[in-house]
C-alpha cells in the first residue's frame, strides 16, 4: 500500500450523530389527583421526548398510563423508568417489547 500512496483516502467518522429510539412504556399506579401531570413532568425533565400518551383508570382506581417516549440511549431510558417508579402511587413501570 505504501507504494500506491495516491490510492489512500482520508476517512473521518461522524461520531457526533446520535440515534433516537421510540420506546413504549406502561405505568401502573393507584389513581390520584395530579398523577398524570406528574408523569408528564418527570418525562419532560428527564430530557426524553414524549411522543404519545394514553391514560385510563378503572373502577378500582387503578391507573394505566401508556406512553411512547423518544430516548437517545439505554441509560436515558433506564433513567426515565427509574424516575417514573419514584412517583407517589406508581407501583410498576414496564417497557413494552
Q: In this structure, is residue 32 part of a structural domain?
A: yes
Give the cell for residue 53.
Answer: 400518551
Give the pLDDT of residue 94: 97
| Domain span including residue 74 | 18-95
In sequence order, the β-bridge partners of residue 64 are 28, 56
Give the pLDDT of residue 97: 76
Q: What are the φ and ψ backbone dihedral angles of 21, each rounded to 5 degrees?
A: -125, 135
pLDDT tens, residue by residue, 6-32: 667 776 665 666 789 999 999 999 999
Q: In this structure, is residue 5 part of a structural domain?
A: no
Q: In this structure, is residue 35 part of a structural domain?
A: yes
Q: In this structure, is residue 71 part of a structural domain?
A: yes
Residue 87 has pLDDT above 70, yes or no: yes
CATH of the domain at 39: 3.30.70.260
Q: In this structure, is residue 53 part of a structural domain?
A: yes
Q: In this structure, is residue 9 part of a structural domain?
A: no
- The residue behind cell 398510563 is 65
> Where residue 1 falls among pLDDT bands split at 50, 70, 90?
low
pLDDT tens, residue by residue, 59-81: 999 999 999 999 999 999 999 99
What is the count of structural domains for the chain? 1
Taking residues 45-67, report their average pLDDT: 96
> Cα–Cα distance between 29 and 76 in angstroms, integer?
22
Single out the residue of 6, 55, 7, 21 nearest to residue 35, CA to CA: 55
Give the pLDDT of residue 19: 83
Residue 39 has pLDDT above 80, yes or no: yes
Amino acid at each position: 500500500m505504501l507504494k500506491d500512496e495516491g490510492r489512500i483516502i482520508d476517512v473521518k467518522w461522524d461520531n457526533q450523530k446520535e440515534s433516537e429510539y421510540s420506546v413504549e412504556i406502561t405505568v401502573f399506579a393507584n389513581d390520584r389527583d395530579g398523577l398524570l401531570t406528574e408523569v408528564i413532568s418527570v418525562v419532560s425533565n428527564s430530557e426524553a421526548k414524549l411522543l404519545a400518551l394514553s391514560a385510563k383508570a378503572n373502577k378500582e382506581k387503578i391507573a394505566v398510563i401508556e406512553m411512547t417516549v423518544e430516548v437517545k440511549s439505554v441509560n436515558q431510558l433506564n433513567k426515565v423508568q427509574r424516575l417514573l417508579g419514584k412517583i407517589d402511587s406508581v407501583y410498576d413501570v414496564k417497557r413494552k417489547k
